[in-house]
Structure 1
């Protein structure tokens, strides 16, 4: 596959079957690299993909087909046969990759993610559209402040949230901020992507790994979605919010490894 832009940045380490991670909006590989190295590198060949305009990845000058351009860029650098883990926006993208290229995906794990991020008349287990609209407007005024607000929101509701928020923000302020154009594209994808009906026909093993107190994704969504995808597994990390791997690293890793080792 030849794309009209440089390939996305990846970090690779470990040995064993392929295991690929795609991070969420406003993040980069360094957000969860240490956690992944600690719990997964001894058993898997790990690939961390940085989304367009994040970390060391180039941005993408998208046309009208934004979603497909991002998917193609991810497929370009993703190992041929891999277990796939996506967090938040990365989970939406991982779902779509598995839908489009099921022969390349051994399993899909969606951490703090759903098939549709914003509410609709027939989908209540999501955030209100106004939240992402507010983020979109705020980005143009002060991207750094908008990201800080989002980082706080992701950890709210977690055990020890106050201390975790301080720690996470101090870490992120030492890192390169994503490009505003790519943040805008990511918000657009969160607003537009809806994988619900396509997932009905997905046959690869799926794990929904959710935080009990996630302020962005109500855990009740699994009750409704289990009728759409009854073969999927669901694991709830008690006391966690939207970043279970950060607040509850051992519990989150245990749930993921338990699923992966069955495949």
Structure 2
């Protein structure tokens, strides 16, 4: 069983899924901002936080999906960030009866761009080539530093504690294990009509300062999800749940209110 914690005491129940290299505590700011409106359950993805390690044999995305299902005994408002948002998206497609509303914060579902805008995917691959090269060379400390520079909240590598740098470095081996779903779409979400199964109200949140690939992903998804809209947070980058929790919380609450109408 994965480790989980709960934020808030509102009557509405929600489940939040964090990004790669983070843990459930990444939702504390959003949870505090929604304290009276929402009871937010957040769990540590396999290999993260206090949850058991990934065995590097089981399909990682399936493992994460199944871990999330354990916290969905009935319909919930579902929130995901980055890789966690790809898990949330899959749940909404495969188990739409369990998802009242769907908040996707910059889902790194690159398969959508590969299908709809391959030239933008090629540009992203070129931009992130140093990360890929470091992973291939098994220079995990360098890969973690570059990954944080591209996807992080702006905190400089040298400004992080040794424990944080070690935590990030040790988990870089998880990143290649995500590729089968987020690049190759082994879950088949891009099959004709598949994403249309997620008919619940959906919000795609992005930071105004985020990489171009996020706009490309959202542009693809907003046309494939039947009830999706986009929102941009000024001044934010990829890590808006950490850097702009109040703005993220406000958008989540607005979506939940729409779902209740």
With normalisation by structure 1, the TM-score equals 0.79
Task: Note if contact 2:15-2:79 (Cα within 8 Å) is conserved in structure 1.
Answer: yes
The 1-side partners of 2:46 and 2:184 are apart by: 17
Counterpart of 1:25 in structure 2 is: 20
* Alignment match of 1:143 (pick from 135, 140, 151): 140
The 2-side partners of 1:133 and 1:191 are apart by: 15
Farther-moved stretch of structure 1 (74-83 vs 95-104): 74-83
User: Deviations along 1:28-59, whole A, 9 cap, x unmatched?
Assistant: 123x2331232123211111121110111112
User: Deviations along 1:182-239, whole A, 9 cap, x unmatched?
Assistant: 3432344432336344212221111101112211534255445433235212111122
Task: Note if contact 1:118-1:128 (Cα within 8 Å) is conserved in structure 2.
Answer: no
The 1-side partners of 2:95 and 2:155 are apart by: 37
2:11 paired with 1:14: no
Counterpart of 2:68 in structure 1 is: 74
User: Deviations along 1:83-121, whole A, 9 cap, x unmatched?
Assistant: 111101111110101111111111111001254357425
Farther-moved stretch of structure 1 (184-193 vs 200-209): 184-193
Q: Tell me: CA distance 1:199–1:53, structure 2 relative to 1, closer, same or farther (3 Å).
A: same
More helix by share: 2
Unaligned residue ranges in structure 2 (runs of 5+) = none
The 2-side partners of 1:199 and 1:150 are apart by: 29
* Alignment match of 1:190 (pick from 182, 185, 202): 182
Task: Note if contact 1:111-1:209 (Cα within 8 Å) is conserved in structure 2.
Answer: yes
Counterpart of 2:225 in structure 1 is: 229
How many pairs were matched up?
Answer: 249
**3-state SS, counterpart of residue 197 of structure 2:** coil
* Alignment match of 2:242 (pick from 238, 246, 257): 246
Q: Tell me: CA distance 1:100–1:27, structure 2 relative to 1, closer, same or farther (3 Å).
A: same
**3-state SS, counterpart of residue 91 of structure 1:** helix
Unaligned residue ranges in structure 1 (runs of 5+) = 1-6, 156-160
Q: Tell me: CA distance 1:241–1:76, structure 2 relative to 1, closer, same or farther (3 Å).
A: same
Counterpart of 1:200 in structure 2 is: 196
The 1-side partners of 2:99 and 2:162 are apart by: 31
* Alignment match of 2:156 (pick from 166, 171, 182): 166
The 1-side partners of 2:31 and 2:37 are apart by: 10
